[in-house]
Structure 1
Amino acid sequence: MSNGHHFTRPITSESHIRSATSLPDGLPDRLEALIERARPNQPMRTAVVHPVDGDSLGGALSAAEHGLIAPLLVGPPHRIRDAAEAAGLDISTLPIIATAHSHEAAERAVALVHTGEADALMKGALHTDEFMHPIVDRSQGLRTARRMSHVFVVDEPSYPRLMLVTDAALNIHPNLEEKRDIVQNAADLARALGIRLPRIAIVCAVETVTPQMQSTLEAAALCKMADRGQIKGALLDGPLGFDLAVSPGAMHSKHLHSEVAGRADVVVVPDLEAGNMLAKQLEYLADARLAGVVLGARVPIILTSRSDSTHTRLASCAVALLYRQWQLEQSALVTSAPDTT
């Protein structure tokens, strides 16, 4: 909330009304729509790292049954099989790549990407730091020229469209250069999910450029970077308060003219703490459902929480597959473009 204004839920002709009878297995239909969009694509060969509990195994099996991934279970075989038996899951047809422990599982999964045997990684029952450590390794990891960042894909009942929130899981205090990559990653994912020209709100506590608030200076700089082609494929505005980003009523009451305000597709937060709290408030207080993926690495990384449901893991796999397919299509376009030199 900026300047003491209360958040107003958007009321527009696009308002999305949920029907309990239309939600298969309790999934919000906008996430279900992404799953259905992803299913015709070739399943991703996905290294599932240390899936030694029922939740991570169940998520991988569900995604395989929906045709989203072809799982490679990486971890101690006896623990994987014990977890499957305890959860009543049949993994007899899935390959198990044996490792001694979780740290080795994460390293082996990265190696599978390097050898071309895996198209994506999926976190199982291990800590995020341990999972990400070999991924971000500067010599043997999966870094690219772009900063890695996490994007939540949020389906909140009162908002008339999917909302992407970034970065709420990876970069603690990103600087301007890192925020440029965070914004570009989110813009690319939005386009992969079918948003032709995503509207990106750089949110801060206030909507004016204020020298005492570094985040507002960086928001303004990001918008100018988009003007100069340093960020491509999106409309940016900022700084914007969160109310201005999502509420047409707040935009009109403050007499703001913006192509982004009131209908943001992407919300870029100033730091991880703000993003993490925003995402969890939407999930626990506003009945939102979330999917999540890490971008900017050589392959998509499905970074789910150990407490996430099978449905969340399934939706996250769909998001990763749509992004992977979009990357392949973009690469094909570049390859087939005529040489004008």
Structure 2
Amino acid sequence: MTRTTPPRPVDPAAAFPELAALARTATRLHPRTGAPTVHDSSVGGPLLWPADEPWPVCGDGHEVFGLTTVEDVRTRRRILTEAWARPRAPRANLLTPEEQAVIDRVQAGYEPSSLPAGPLPLLAVAQFYARDVPDLPCPEGTDLLQVLWCPFNEVMELSSAVRLRWRRSADVGEVLTRPPVPAFVGSDDYVPERCVLHPERVREYPPAHELDGELAKAVHSWAVDRGLSYRGDLSTAPGWKVGGWPHPWTFLDPPEPAELRCGACGGPVEALLTIEGREYDGESRSWFPLEDASAEPAPFITADSATMVEIGRGYTLQVYRCAATPDHPPLTFMQ
């Protein structure tokens, strides 16, 4: 099924012609629970990874506040999804005694001392084929982007926790069928649920921090006079997306120009991938896809949060790439 973003309530470029020259396209990914293969664009799915290529690892230290495993995360999600889906009598327990015992064990977690010393395999986050994602800026000779990360709180703080791998899919012969998995993860928020994508191209305008100060004030006031939010309704698309404008800054001020540079060469960077747990919130409800408006409500894994990924307390992880040399390590910010 396709996903269709409703038309914007108004077009700010009609009132502010200077915005028209700043418009960009982005590809909303609309991840939804599914069973992707290595040949599909996906979030949380298997990667088209060569069998003879080493799997990347993280050798950084980790701040450990709690530990779980990928298997335990998926077990808990499966049990709760099945429990919410079945009918039950009024005031009856959601879980059977056997299910409750499993959930209790999973939620107890593991002691921080259980974390083994040495590098940990990274966790596959997503892969995107150029044929599916029009705004994927593939370096010459490549048509596939793979994203991995170290599933600990360092995702929110360290660019080194996220890795990008560009490749030419036709060059992959034998595929790695059993990639290594980290022995533990720091939180279930960093274990993406297996999702297929429903890419859709949309038009965006710059977030307020990218506009001249006077123009930003004028656009904001103009939107408020119409009962709208420039940030939530008219500027950048929420949820997972490729390309377009970067996500607005929320709890932090935008970095100084010197900070928003490639760590390898000091050159300019551009927004590549936006990772946001939900497709919309109270401010960006107008972006919710038309096809999901009539979907049956799901009490556990919902359409707007199908990946089950959450950055911080509902923030966004913005991944930037070096504009001059895409192979350079990415730059990331929690925004």
Could you say which structure has the greater relative contact order, defined with CA pairs below 8 angstroms and 6 or more residues apart? 2
TM, length-normalised to structure 1: 0.26
**Structure with more helix by fraction:** 1
TM, length-normalised to structure 2: 0.27
